[in-house]
C-alpha cells in the first residue's frame, strides 16, 4: 500500500478512489499480500495486484463498489475455461476491493502525509466472506496515534519492517519507516548507488569528508547529505540508535583510513546490520582486510564484509557496478536460502545470505 499512499500524498487535495488489495495468497502468484492498486474516479490507475490477468476484472468490480459503496472480497484461481477470469500462474489470490471516501479518505490522507515524512502507519480492516459485499470500518495507527476502530485484540504492530497479514479476521497492513542506506564517499559510483538505493526503497545518506564534492546536484536521490569524517559520523549514528537490522552500509571512499574507519565502526555495531560492503580492487580489498586484522578482527568477523561488494556480473562502469551491488543486497534481503543455484560470484545464495 506504500505506493498508493505516496501517490495520494502527491495530489494537491484528496479525492475519493477505490482500493484493491491482495489479502492472502497460496501457491505461485505474481504479487504478495499487501500489494495494492488504486482506481481513481477520474485519473490514473496506480499500482497493481497481478501480472495483468485479473486487473481488468478488478477495475470492472471497482465501478460497482464505487456505485454501491459496498466492499467486495474476491478469490481468483486457475481455470480450465479460456474465457474465465483466472490467474495464469497456477496459484490462488484473494483481493479486497473497497471504497475510500469520507472519513476513511481523511485517514488515508493523514497516513499518506506520515509515509511521505517517513513515519510508520498501520491499518486493520475487517474481511468479509468471499463473494459477499459489506461496509468497511478500519482502524489506523498513524505515527503512534490510534484513530478509527480498534486494532485486533492482542495485536501489537511491529514497525521494524513492512508487513501484511490476517489477524483475528482482520487484514492488517504495516508500513514502516524506510530502512537506511549509508553511503560513504562521493565518487560516480556513489552517485549511481544512491539512485539505485532510493529506487529500492531506502532512505539514502551520503557522507564524505570533502564538502566540495557533496553538491545536491550530484546526489538528487539522497535523503541526507553529510560533510563529516565517515568513521566518526557512522559511530555517532550507531551510538544514537539510528540504525537497525535493515540498514545497509557501504564504504566507497577515496582513502583507506576512511574506509577502515567505516568498516571498523560497522563491525562493532551494538546491533545487527543487514549488509556491510566495501568497494575496491583485489589489491584494495587485501589492504582493507589486513588493516582490519591489525585492529583485532578475526577472519570470521572480516568475512561479514562483502569485499568487493556486489555479485561478479562483469560490469565496470559506475552504473554496472551499482547494479551488481544492488543485486547482492536484494539477495541478502530476500534470503532465498532454500535455492541451490550457484551465482556468478561462485557461492550459493545460502552463502550470500549470511547473517550480519
Q: Rounded to an integer, what distance in angstroms lies between the CA atom of residue 227 and that of residue 293?
A: 28
Query: So what's the pLDDT on residue 86?
Result: 67
Same domain assignment for residues 146 and 195: no
Residues in CB range of 176: below 8 A, 6 or more apart: 120, 159, 160, 161, 162
Q: Rounded to the nearest 5 degrees, what angle is found at the Cα of 64, between the Cα atoms of 61 and 66? A: 110
Range of the domain at 34: 2-175
Query: So what's the pLDDT on residue 39?
Result: 95
Average of pLDDT values for 5-30?
91
Average of pLDDT values for 223-234?
97
Q: Which of 45-59, 102-116, 304-318 has the lowest mean pLDDT?
A: 45-59
Of 345 and 293, the one with more pLDDT? 293
Same domain assignment for residues 157 and 248: no
User: Is 29 a residue whose pLDDT tops 80?
Assistant: yes
Same domain assignment for residues 204 and 156: no
Average of pLDDT values for 99-107?
92
> Which of the listed ranges 27-41, 90-104, 117-131, 215-229 does the model predict with the highest average pLDDT?
215-229
pTM of this structure: 0.82
Q: Rounded to an integer, what distance in angstroms lies between the CA atom of residue 223 and that of residue 103?
A: 32
> Which of the listed ranges 48-62, 279-293, 337-351 does the model predict with the highest average pLDDT?
279-293
> Are 9 and 115 spatial neighbours (Cβ–Cβ below 8 Å)?
yes
User: Is 142 a residue whose pLDDT tops 50?
Assistant: yes
> Are 78 and 86 spatial neighbours (Cβ–Cβ below 8 Å)?
yes
Instruction: Report the percent of the chain where pLDDT is more than 90.
Output: 64
Q: CA distances (Å), 134 to each of 44, 65, 125, 139, 273, in order?
A: 26, 10, 12, 16, 44
User: Is 136 a residue whose pLDDT tops 90?
Assistant: no
Same domain assignment for residues 319 and 186: yes
User: Is 31 a residue whose pLDDT tops 60?
Assistant: yes
Which of 259, 187, 168, 274 shows the shortest CA–CA distance to 206?
187
Same domain assignment for residues 12 and 148: yes
Residues in CB range of 228: below 8 A, 6 or more apart: 207, 209
Residues in CB range of 20: below 8 A, 6 or more apart: 36, 37, 38, 39, 49, 58, 62, 95, 96, 97
Distance of CA 238 to the CA centre of its chain: 21
30: number of Cβ within 10 Å = 19
Same domain assignment for residues 153 and 189: no
Q: C-alpha grid cell for residue 297?
A: 578482527
> Are 32 and 173 spatial neighbours (Cβ–Cβ below 8 Å)?
no
Q: C-alpha grid cell for residue 88?
A: 495464469
Same domain assignment for residues 158 and 216: no
> Are 96 and 73 spatial neighbours (Cβ–Cβ below 8 Å)?
yes
Q: How confident is the model at residue 156 (pLDDT cuts 50, 70, 90)?
A: low
Average of pLDDT values for 271-299?
93
Tell me which of 175, 196, 225 is where a domain ends: 175
Q: Rounded to an integer, what distance in angstroms lies between the CA atom of residue 181 and that of residue 195?
A: 11
For β-strands 138-142 and 92-100, DSSP reports them as unpaired
Per-residue pLDDT reduced to its tens digit, 237-272:
999 999 999 999 999 999 999 999 999 999 999 878
Q: What is the mean pLDDT of the chain?
A: 86
Which of 93, 92, 116, 106 shows the shortest CA–CA distance to 138?
106
Query: So what's the pLDDT on residue 344?
Result: 37
> Are 131 and 148 spatial neighbours (Cβ–Cβ below 8 Å)?
no
Tell me which of 147, 175, 203 is where a domain ends: 175
User: Is 353 a residue whose pLDDT tops 50?
Assistant: no
Average of pLDDT values for 181-196?
97
Q: C-alpha grid cell for residue 101?
A: 471516501
User: SS3 for 293?
Assistant: helix
Q: How confident is the model at residue 88 (pLDDT cuts 50, 70, 90)?
A: confident
- Look at the chain and report how many structural domains it folds into: 2
Query: So what's the pLDDT on residue 155?
Result: 63
Q: Rounded to an integer, what distance in angstroms lies between the CA atom of residue 333 and that of residue 81?
A: 39
Same domain assignment for residues 155 and 224: no
Q: CA distances (Å), 222 to each of 213, 226, 242, 288, in order?
A: 14, 10, 17, 27
CA atoms within 13 A on the CB side of 159: 14
Tell me which of 175, 207, 227 is where a domain ends: 175
Q: Residue 292 maps to which CATH number?
A: 3.40.50.720
Which of 13, 53, 19, 56 shows the shortest CA–CA distance to 38?
19
Q: Rounded to an integer, what distance in angstroms lies between the CA atom of residue 125 and that of residue 72?
A: 13
Residues in CB range of 1: below 8 A, 6 or more apart: 21, 34, 36, 123, 173, 175
Same domain assignment for residues 279 and 141: no
Amino acid at each position: 500500500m506504500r505506493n498508493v499512499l505516496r501517490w495520494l500524498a502527491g495530489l494537491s487535495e484528496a479525492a475519493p478512489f477505490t482500493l484493491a488489495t491482495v489479502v492472502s495468497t497460496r501457491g505461485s502468484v505474481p504479487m504478495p499480500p499487501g500489494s495494492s492498486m488504486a482506481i481513481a474516479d477520474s485519473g490514473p490507475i496506480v499500482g497493481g495486484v497481478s501480472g495483468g490477468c485479473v486487473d481488468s476484472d478488478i477495475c470492472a468490480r471497482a465501478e460497482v463498489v464505487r456505485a454501491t459503496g459496498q466492499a467486495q472480497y474476491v478469490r481468483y484461481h486457475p481455470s480450465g475455461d479460456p474465457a474465465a477470469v483466472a490467474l495464469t500462474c497456477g496459484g490462488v489470490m484473494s483481493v479486497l476491493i473497497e471504497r475510500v471516501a469520507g472519513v476513511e479518505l481523511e485517514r488515508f490522507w493523514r497516513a499518506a502525509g506520515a509515509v511521505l515524512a517517513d513515519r510508520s502507519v498501520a491499518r486493520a480492516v475487517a474481511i468479509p466472506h468471499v463473494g459477499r459485499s459489506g461496509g468497511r470500518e478500519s482502524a489506523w495507527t498513524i505515527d503512534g496515534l490510534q484513530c478509527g476502530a480498534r486494532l485486533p485484540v492482542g495485536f501489537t504492530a511491529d514497525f521494524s519492517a513492512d508487513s501484511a497479514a490476517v489477524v483475528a479476521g482482520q487484514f492488517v497492513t504495516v508500513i514502516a519507516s524506510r530502512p537506511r542506506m549509508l553511503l560513504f564517499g562521493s565518487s560516480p559510483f556513489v552517485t549511481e548507488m544512491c539512485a539505485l538505493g532510493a529506487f529500492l526503497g531506502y532512505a539514502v545518506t551520503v557522507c564524505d569528508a570533502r564538502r566540495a564534492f557533496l553538491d545536491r546536484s550530484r546526489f538528487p536521490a539522497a535523503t541526507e547529505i553529510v560533510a563529516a569524517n565517515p568513521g566518526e559520523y557512522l559511530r555517532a549514528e550507531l551510538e544514537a540508535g539510528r540504525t537497525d537490522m535493515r540498514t545497509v552500509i557501504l564504504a566507497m571512499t577515496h582513502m583507506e583510513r576512511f574506509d577502515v574507519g567505516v568498516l571498523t565502526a560497522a563491525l562493532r555495531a551494538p546491533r545487527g546490520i543487514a549488509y556491510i560492503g566495501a568497494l575496491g580492487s583485489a589489491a584494495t580489498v587485501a589492504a582493507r582486510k589486513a588493516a582490519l586484522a591489525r585492529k583485532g578482527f578475526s577472519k570470521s568477523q572480516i568475512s561479514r564484509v562483502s569485499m568487493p561488494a556486489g555479485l561478479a556480473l562483469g560490469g565496470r562502469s559506475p552504473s554496472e557496478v551499482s547494479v551488481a551491488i544492488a543485486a547482492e543486497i536484494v539477495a541478502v534481503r530476500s534470503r532465498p536460502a532454500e535455492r541451490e543455484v550457484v551465482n556468478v560470484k561462485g557461492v550459493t545464495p545460502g552463502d550470500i545470505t549470511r547473517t550480519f
